[in-house]
Amino acid sequence: MHELSLVENMLQIIEDAAAEQGFAQVKTIWMEVGQLSCVEKNALRFCFSVVVDGTIVQHAKLEIIDVAGSAWCEHCHCEVAISARYDTCPECGAYTTKVIRGEEIRIKELEVE
Amino acid sequence: MCTTCGCGTDQVQLNGENLHCHERDNTGEHHYHAHGPGASTSRMVRIERDILSKNNRYANDNREYLAKNAIFMLNLVSSPGSGKTTLLIETIKALQHSLSIAVIEGDQQTDQDAARIRATGVPALQINTGKGCHLDAHMVRHAMQQLNLQNNSLLFVENVGNLVCPAGFDLGEAHKVVILSVTEGEDKPLKYPDIFHAADLMLLNKCDLLPYLSFDVERVIEYARRINPALQIIQISAAQGTGMHGWIEWIKAGQLSVRTDKTERVAALPLHSSD
């Protein structure tokens, strides 16, 4: 259940931003979660609902933006779409190794007041 | 509660002592409150921050400290029961006369593993994560501070037995070493790809049991390299001692490389003349 830790980290980043930028309440959180990241979205939403009580994000809506996975195929010398680490290149069938996108777990933007 | 760093929680313990908050108030109170409706207007704030950025900052601090003191740190990860502690004890016995060694043990509860390690004569510190499922860089930093680590030494971190969560948390180690025992399924690398992707070395343990099992070694190696083509693999039996030589030599070479790196860094420092 490392999603709990991730939500705690997220809360701290937002509280730091609140102190720096002077906002008192968060209405919406846009978060990017990569398809290849170690995050289970349902677990993340569940942990979010547990952790936010009494905090600045208590009434915030959590919007998760899916980031599709992609990797560099060494054989085809091009970027290809993958949905898991052990996916093969759809063009040549080789196992792709260099993940380009899809490992993100980032807070992108907040709507605040 | 914060399972990430233990601050503000009574769950995480170092050798049985609670970790205390020192960066953030742990009263449970927050200083921002919603105000009356209609008084404020919404605005957008760009954040663009990695959720793991704080852990990664601690990990980088750890890495810098370890490099400065030529300490070779390995993060041992596996599922529960793969033989990590036995492996560690046998590894310590093989190396403790030539190298200074310390161990950080991570478990949800009990200090049984640390006690087993201390019986070898090597200092060991137990982190109990309480409900946490992994160690993070901040917990390890606290433990490192308490261990009085020697220069030119080895530091082993035995992570919480879990093939999922420790993959995402950099501790500042030189390498993650994943241990897989042959009593588990060959398809573990495909089922838990993140940890095999994050590791640089896989130890295939309990190989002395292969004659009694239908475990296919070639297949597990093929699966593991699908996930991570650069993964080094050593077949061992920690209990019987087979294959341990390769592992021990790998550690010695790693320790030597951090020592050499340090010497080169020091040699590259500008000389200040006395006049």
pLDDT tens readout for residues B84-141: 999 999 999 999 999 999 999 998 888 888 999 999 999 999 998 877 788 899 999 9
Nearest to A105 among B4, B44, B52 (CB): B52
- Write out chain B residues lying below 8 Å of A10, CB-based: 51
Count of A-B CB contacts under 8 Å? 122
Q: Is the pLDDT reported for residue B183 higher than 90?
A: yes
Q: Is the pLDDT reported for residue B24 higher than 60?
A: no
CA-based nearest distance B33→chain A, Å: 6
Q: Write the pLDDT tens digit of every residue in B132-174.
A: 788 899 999 999 999 989 999 999 999 998 998 888 899 999 9
Q: How confident is the model at residue B268 (pLDDT cuts 50, 70, 90)?
A: confident
* Side chain identity, residue B228: N
pLDDT (mean) for A10-15: 92
Q: In what order do the strands lie in the sheet with A78-81?
A: A78-81, A70-73, A98-101
Higher-pLDDT residue of B135, B34: B135
Q: Is the pLDDT reported for residue B208 higher than 70?
A: yes
- Write out chain B residues lying below 8 Å of A21, CB-based: 45
Residue with tokens 């475990």: B215
* Side chain identity, residue B38: G
Q: Is the pLDDT reported for residue B264 higher than 70?
A: yes
Q: Which segment of A20-34, A40-54, B3-17 scores lowest on mean pLDDT?
A: B3-17
Average pLDDT, chain B: 86
| C-alpha to C-alpha distance for B98 and B252, rounded to whole angstroms | 10
**Which tokens go with B1?**
């509660």
Per-residue CA distances from A24 to A21, A79, B144 (Å):
9, 42, 38
The answer, for B42 touching chain A at a CB cutoff of 8 Å, is: yes
CA A110, B2, B4, B5 torsion-angle sign:
positive
Q: Is the pLDDT reported for residue A47 higher than 50?
A: yes
Q: How confident is the model at residue B25 (pLDDT cuts 50, 70, 90)?
A: very low
Q: How confident is the model at residue B225 (pLDDT cuts 50, 70, 90)?
A: very high
Tell me the residues of A at the B interface, defined by beta carbons under 8 Å apart: 1-2, 4-6, 8-10, 12-15, 17-18, 21, 23-25, 27, 31, 37-38, 54-56, 58-59, 84-86, 95, 97, 104-113
Nearest to A5 among B32, B136, B190 (CB): B136
Q: Residues of B numbered 222-241 whose beta carbons fall under 8 angstroms of chain A's beta carbons: which are they?
A: 223, 226-229
**For residue A1, what pLDDT is reported?**
61
The reply to whether residue A38 touches residue B197, judged by beta carbons under 8 angstroms, is: no
Q: Is the pLDDT reported for residue A36 higher than 50?
A: yes
Nearest to A2 among B34, B42, B134 (CB): B134
CA-based nearest distance A41→chain B, Å: 14
| Nearest residue to A113 via CA among B46, B97, B40 | B40
The reply to whether residue A109 touches residue B47, judged by beta carbons under 8 angstroms, is: yes
Beta carbons within 10 angstroms of residue B270's beta carbon: 5
| Nearest residue to B202 via CA among B183, B224, B185, B219 | B224
| Domain A2-68+102-112 -> CATH class | alpha beta
The reply to whether residue A15 touches residue B32, judged by beta carbons under 8 angstroms, is: yes
Higher-pLDDT residue of B53, B241: B241
Domain boundaries, chain A: 2-68+102-112
Nearest to B30 among A37, A55, A108 (CB): A55
Query: What ipTM is given for this predicted complex?
Result: 0.77
- CB under 8 Å to B49, separation ≥6 — which residues? A13, A106, A107
